[in-house]
Amino acid sequence: DIQMTQSPSSLSASVGDRVTITCRASQSISTYLNWYQQRPGKAPKLLIQATSRLESGVPSRFSGSGSGTDFTLTITSPQPEDLGTYYCQQSYSTPWTFGQGTKVEIK
C-alpha cells in the first residue's frame, strides 16, 4: 500500500494568512493526487484533482502543486468557512489511500 503522510496535523490561521499543507507519498505517484475538505459533521468535498485542477465552484484561493512524492495544498487568505479537516488521497494504485488529515482552525 502507498502511505500518505500529511503535515502539520493541525494549524491555526488568521484571515489573510497563507496556509500551506504538505502531503508526502511513500513512493512516486506522479500527479495522481487529490485534495478534500471535510467540514465538521459533513462528508468530504473534493477540492482539487490531479494535483492542481480546481473543482468547479471551489474558490481560487485554493491551489495545489507537486509531483512524484511531495505535494502541497495552499490556501491564500483563508476565510472563516475554510475551517475543517483537509485530506490528500492518492489514486495511483489501489488500495486508494488517504493522508491522516490536517485540521485547520481559523482564528
Partner 1 sequence: QVQLQESGPGLVKPSETLSLTCTVSGRSINGYYWSWIRQPPGKGLEWIGYIHYTGSTDYNPSLKSRVTISVDTSKNQFFLRLSSVTAADTAVYFCARSDTLLVGYYFDFWGQGTLVTVSS
Judged by the rule CB under 8 A, the positions of this chain that interact with partner 1 are 1, 30-34, 36, 42-46, 49-51, 53, 55, 87, 89-92, 94-101
- We find the least distance from the C-beta atom of residue 87 to partner 1, in angstroms, to be 6
Grid cell locating 35: 485534495
For residue 95, the minimal CB distance to partner 1 (Å) is: 4
54: phi then psi, degrees, rounded to nearest 5:
-75, 130
Could you tell me the maximum CA-CA distance found in the chain, to the nearest angstrom? 38
**What does the alpha-carbon distance between residue 50 and residue 70 come to, in Å, rounded to a whole number?**
13
- Residue 32 Cβ vs partner 1, minimum distance, rounded to whole Å: 4
